[in-house]
Amino acid sequence: MRSRRPSRSDRHRATVYAIQRIRLEGLLTGAYTPRCDREAMYLDLCRRGVRVAIEDFILSPALLLLETMTPEPDPEADNETFTDPAEPAIPRS
């Protein structure tokens, strides 16, 4: 019996897995710099000498996409921090 050819989604998943694995291994050699908290934590744990399973730091394609998405800045957004007004909203009795 011949084995089936992998589906497009299986090939995509395998490609995303391989790219993440290469990137995580490259972090240890200094070829790459961390782009997210997950990669920074992996690098920090490895530098501390903690035994780390690389598979624990590899995400599914959907989660990787979510992690790499950055919200576009809103030019009309009020960038001032919230400050308490001098008067409380509810008067004290």
Tens digit of pLDDT for each residue in 39-72? 999 999 999 999 999 999 999 998 988 888 876 6
- Look up residue 47 and give its two tokens: 């530098």
- Look up residue 23 and give its two tokens: 């990137």
Instruction: Provide the sign of the torsion angle of the four alpha carbons 43, 44, 47, 52, taken in this order.
Output: negative
pTM value?
A: 0.67
Residue 81: the pLDDT is 58
Residue 3: the pLDDT is 87
How far apart are alpha carbons 74 and 92 in whole angstroms?
37
Nearest to residue 62, comparing CAs of 1, 28, 12, 6? Answer: 12
